[in-house]
Amino acid sequence: MLPARRCHTCHTRLPDADAARYLCRSCETSTRDHLEQLPRLYVELADHLEPSRTAGEYVRGSVRVEAPLPAHPEVLTLRAAGGIATVLTTWEAEWRGIRHDRPRWLRPVPAETRVTLAATYLAAYLAWAAHQHPAAGEFAVDVRQLWRSATAVAEPAKRPSAAPEPAGRCPRVIDGRPCRGHLALPPGADMIWCDRCHSAWGTAQWLTLRYAQAAAA
């Protein structure tokens, strides 16, 4: 008997009607919402590039002056190379290659435009990825993490404050058996926690965690 198919993002069991999908319908919807918000959040992050408070004092000659704090490090990470624009355009290029879509010819355009174009393309073909792209789960996790990080800085008042986001069952082996405790990611956090054995996984370990969960299933 074949093992039950699970969503590659939240690892919930898929109903028989959706057994051919890589993303459950809930994860597909939330990923589309995040993609639609990322262009606006990217623009709003620019407002947080300038330091807004001071980090202490130092002496310049005989004058004591205040030293400004550097720009918010998370903003620099999200807006610099390797951040939101890089992640989205990299996924866009991969999807275009798989789908044999003509590569989008880009003249030098502002990063805000690149983010908007990439997010629009990815949202348009998200349903295709949910059904046909084996890496759809990894893509959804990348988009969710970008959205969560950007929201935490640009709109802290809107940062999710509800219950922690479920992350499947704990695959940690204890006394020869999987723990099977409930994993969850607290709002705004970057560590997934188990409510039974209290194991924790940081962002660098999330891919390893997904593989372990798939093996345990």
54, pLDDT greater than 80: no
Q: Give the model's confidence band at 163: pLDDT under 50 very low, under 70 low, under 90 confident, else very high.
A: low
117, pLDDT greater than 90: yes
What pLDDT, on the 0 to 100 scale, is given for residue 118?
95
What pLDDT, on the 0 to 100 scale, is given for residue 99?
94
Mean pLDDT of the chain: 80
Distance in angstroms between the alpha carbons of the first and the last residue of the chain: 13
112, pLDDT greater than 80: yes
pLDDT one-digit tens code per residue, 171-203: 888 778 888 888 888 766 667 888 887 777 777
Tell me the average pLDDT across 134-163: 79
User: Residue 47 burial by CB count (10 A; 0-12/13-18/19+): exposed, middle or buried?
Assistant: exposed
* pLDDT above 70: percentage of residues in the chain: 81
Higher pLDDT, 159 or 11: 11
Three-class SS of residue 196?
Answer: coil
What pLDDT, on the 0 to 100 scale, is given for residue 32?
94
Q: Give the model's confidence band at 207: pLDDT under 50 very low, under 70 low, under 90 confident, else very high.
A: confident
What are the boundaries of each domain within the chain? 16-159, 160-217
User: In sequence order, which residues have a C-beta less than 8 Å from that of residue 129 and are 6 or more positions away?
Assistant: 22, 23, 95, 136, 139
What pLDDT, on the 0 to 100 scale, is given for residue 59?
42
156, pLDDT greater than 80: no
Residue 143 structure tokens: 């988009």
69, pLDDT greater than 70: no
Residue 93 structure tokens: 């290029």
- Among 129-138, 163-172, 193-202, the range of highest mean pLDDT: 129-138
Can you tell me which residue has the tokens 């262009």? Answer: 39
Tell me the average pLDDT across 78-99: 92
50, pLDDT greater than 80: no
Q: Are 49 and 79 spatial neighbours (Cβ–Cβ below 8 Å)?
A: yes
